[in-house]
């Protein structure tokens, strides 16, 4: 999917997760949403060239906006460190691993590269006296946002290689083509997550203004943690609905189109279509 679509879908998804507690904990919710916004576009740093040499691919290539470019600039050394570690220093393997939808679009690559950034960042901020729980919550948001990105990409024609490089096959794949169906899918998926989130928020606001005076969130008598867990289960079910929608033949993206698309990781022929 395009970067802008990942951005809006992931924020709507995160809003659903937070809807039971966002009224009670607005500051923590903001920190989490900030992390989600960064994590939602982080995996697409593998669709850029060397930012230090000024060879960033245009936003039309993968829908990468300024946020992705800034993240790619900051994470460029970590991206190559990740490729070096997983390839064992083999330059040929490293080049292959760092192609689009390979290592940085896998669970091992995402967690390794982000933890290399987030753990030292939290330690440094703690040592200099600037660490707060908001930093930890934002860090968790970055990790979750990146995982949301992968789950959203499962709905596209090329799918996601979750365990790359151990497995180089896409476990889940939809029928949505990035160049022709991403924007429509982005709108549909955002609505699917946003509607229950808004309903939950409205109910939460009603409780706050009723005789409960905000004592309970979402469902009476349940703790905030339980409410968020319920919202998480609902969000997974809604993602399954999105994935089922991506399987529809209405997207007109079967195997023949996939083979003809010329998609080969960073192969430019794909982006010209």
Q: How do residues 154-176 score in pLDDT, each as one tens digit?
A: 999 889 999 998 998 888 898 88
**Residue 109, burial from CB neighbour count under 10 angstroms (0-12, 13-18, 19+):** buried
Whole-number Å distance between alpha carbons of 225 and 229? 6
Who contacts 257 (Cβ-Cβ below 8 Å, separation ≥6)?
Answer: 157, 177
3-state secondary structure of 160: strand
- Kindly give the confidence (pLDDT) of every residue in the chain, 273 residues in length, as a single tens digit, with 9 standing for 90 and above: 888 899 999 999 999 999 988 988 999 999 999 999 999 999 988 875 444 434 444 443 445 567 777 887 888 899 999 999 999 989 999 999 988 889 999 999 999 999 999 999 999 999 999 999 999 999 999 999 999 999 999 999 889 999 998 998 888 898 888 777 778 999 999 999 999 999 988 887 777 666 554 444 455 667 778 888 999 999 999 999 999 999 988 886 444 544 444 444 444 443 333
Give the whole-angstrom CA distance, residue 144 versus residue 193: 16
Per the CB < 8 A criterion, the answer to whether 165 and 185 are in contact is no
Residue 160 phi, psi (nearest 5): -135, 135
Longest dimension (CA), the chain: 66
3-state secondary structure of 131: coil
Check if the beta carbon of residue 258 is closer than 8 Å to that of residue 173.
no
Radius of gyration of the chain measured on its C-alpha atoms: 20
Q: How far apart are CA 208 and CA 229, in angstroms?
A: 20
Q: What is the pLDDT of residue 250?
A: 82
* Beta-carbon contacts of residue 93 (< 8 Å; ≥ 6 apart): 86, 87, 165
Q: Please tell me the predicted confidence (pLDDT) of residue 264.
A: 47
Measured CA to CA in angstroms, residue 189 lies from 148, 183, 195 at distances of 12, 10, 10
- The rounded distance, in Å, linking the Cα atoms of 204 and 110 is 34
Contact status, residue 48 vs residue 57, Cβ threshold 8 Å: yes
Q: What is the pLDDT of residue 266?
A: 41
CA distances from 77 to 36, 217, 259 (A): 22, 43, 33
So what's the pLDDT on residue 58?
Answer: 41
């Amino acid at each position: 999917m395009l970067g802008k679509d990942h951005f809006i879908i992931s924020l709507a998804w995160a809003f659903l997760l937070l809807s039971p507690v966002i009224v009670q904990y607005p500051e923590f919710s903001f920190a989490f949403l900030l992390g989600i916004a960064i994590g939602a576009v982080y995996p697409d740093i593998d669709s850029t060239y060397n930012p230090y040499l000024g060879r960033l691919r245009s936003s039309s290539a993968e829908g990468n906006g300024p946020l992705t470019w800034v993240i790619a600039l900051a994470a460029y050394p970590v991206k190559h460190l990740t490729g070096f570690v997983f390839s064992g220093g083999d330059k040929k393997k490293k080049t292959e691993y760092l192609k689009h939808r390979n290592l940085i679009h896998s669970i091992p690559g995402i967690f390794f590269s982000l933890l290399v950034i987030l753990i030292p960042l939290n330690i440094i901020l703690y040592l200099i006296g600037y660490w707060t729980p908001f930093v930890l919550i934002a860090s968790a948001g970055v990790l979750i946002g990146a995982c949301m990105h992968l789950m959203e990409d499962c709905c596209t024609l090329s799918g996601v290689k979750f365990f790359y490089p151990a497995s180089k096959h896409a476990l889940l794949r939809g029928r949505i083509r990035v160049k022709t169906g991403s924007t429509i899918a982005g709108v549909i998926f955002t609505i699917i997550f946003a509607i229950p989130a808004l309903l939950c928020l409205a109910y939460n606001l009603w409780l706050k203004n009723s005789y409960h005076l905000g004592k309970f969130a979402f469902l009476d008598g349940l703790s905030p943690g339980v409410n968020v867990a319920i919202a998480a289960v609902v969000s997974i079910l809604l993602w399954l609905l999105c994935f089922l929608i991506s399987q529809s033949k209405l997207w007109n993206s079967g195997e023949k189109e996939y083979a003809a698309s010329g998609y080969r990781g960073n192969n430019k022929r794909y982006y010209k279509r």
